[in-house]
């Protein structure tokens, strides 16, 4: 499945390079919903909330009420996740709060699954230089995605695995990394970070991995009609 991304910052739809430098702006949220109407799900990330410097809550609520949306960014409490579900979020993506100093934050994930249902929980495994990064990709941990997949399986229904090293750079992604992840867990996996060509999207599809696409769509490198023809 292809999952188009709507990333929000300062009240606008944006695309960043490696989570830091703004590269471009998209249309209004209403325009992006119309553009992505052919796809079964979208991904909505509140970048300001992820960075701890504000919120685009009204826009998130607008989008979640009108599309089957996976929503993330700054979801660090069970209450916040529950509020997103109440607003219409199909699934909730958690990153920073899913990890502690010693590894997986199992008590938080258990409480989250009890509150909103395990089937709605996605854990973000955002990885740079082989290590999971948190707090809007500003801090690195000692954890490797491959090492903790089995620990996460009881607590969530899917993983958002972002190869941050290539995020927004349109230089291609690391398909071998996604193959290793796919071989290591039965959880649903969504790949992100540097996916640039239809061949990459097709290869991920053959692996049984969804593709979350942002920069390649917004820059025009990939056409929405061709992506939709892959099956959503």
Contact 159, 178 (CB under 8 A): no
pTM: 0.94
Burial 102-139 (b: 16+ CB within 10 A, else e): eebbeebbeebbeebeeebbbbbbbbbeeebbbebbee
Query: 204 or 167, which is more confident?
Result: 204
Residue 109's pLDDT is 97
CA-closest candidate to residue 75, choices 48, 49, 53, 101: 49
Q: Look up residue 11 and give its DSSP letter.
A: T
CA-closest candidate to residue 194, choices 225, 222, 215, 221: 215
The proportion of the chain whose per-residue pLDDT surpasses 70, expressed as a percent, equals 99
The count of C-alpha atoms lying within 13 angstroms of the C-alpha of 51, restricted to the half-sphere facing its C-beta, is 13
Domain range list for the chain? 2-229
Contact 74, 55 (CB under 8 A): yes
Contact 181, 145 (CB under 8 A): yes
Output the average pLDDT for the chain. Answer: 93
Q: Grade residue 188 by pLDDT with cuts at 50, 70 and 90.
A: very high
The count of C-alpha atoms lying within 13 angstroms of the C-alpha of 116, restricted to the half-sphere facing its C-beta, is 29
Residue-wise pLDDT tens digits, 103-154: 999 999 999 999 999 999 999 999 999 899 888 888 888 899 999 999 999 9
Catalytic residues: 7, 126
Q: Grade residue 62 by pLDDT with cuts at 50, 70 and 90.
A: very high
Contact 33, 67 (CB under 8 A): yes
Domain 2-229 CATH class label? alpha beta
Contact 228, 39 (CB under 8 A): yes
Residue 232's pLDDT is 55
Q: Grade residue 230 by pLDDT with cuts at 50, 70 and 90.
A: confident
């Amino acid at each position: 499945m292809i999952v188009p991304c709507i990333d929000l910052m300062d009240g606008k739809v944006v695309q960043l390079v490696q989570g830091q430098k703004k590269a471009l702006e998209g249309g209004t949220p209403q325009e992006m919903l119309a553009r992505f109407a052919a796809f079964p799900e979208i991904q909505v990330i509140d970048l300001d909330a992820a960075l701890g410097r504000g919120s685009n809550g009204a826009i998130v609520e607008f989008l979640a009420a009108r599309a089957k949306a996976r929503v993330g960014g700054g979801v660090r409490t069970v209450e916040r996740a529950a509020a997103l579900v109440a607003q219409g979020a199909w699934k909730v993506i958690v990153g920073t709060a899913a990890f502690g100093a010693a590894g997986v934050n199992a008590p938080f994930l258990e409480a989250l699954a009890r509150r909103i249902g395990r089937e709605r929980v996605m854990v973000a495994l955002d990885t740079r230089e082989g290590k999971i990064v948190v707090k809007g990709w500003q801090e690195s941990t000692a954890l490797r995605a491959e090492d903790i997949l089995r620990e996460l399986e009881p607590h969530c229904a899917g993983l958002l695995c972002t190869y941050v090293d290539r995020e927004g750079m349109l230089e291609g992604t690391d398909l071998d990394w996604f193959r290793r992840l796919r071989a290591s867990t039965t959880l649903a996996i969504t790949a992100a970070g540097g996916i640039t060509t239809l061949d990459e999207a097709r290869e991920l599809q053959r692996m049984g991995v969804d593709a979350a696409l942002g920069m390649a769509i917004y820059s025009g490198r990939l056409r929405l009609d061709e992506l939709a023809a892959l099956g959503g």
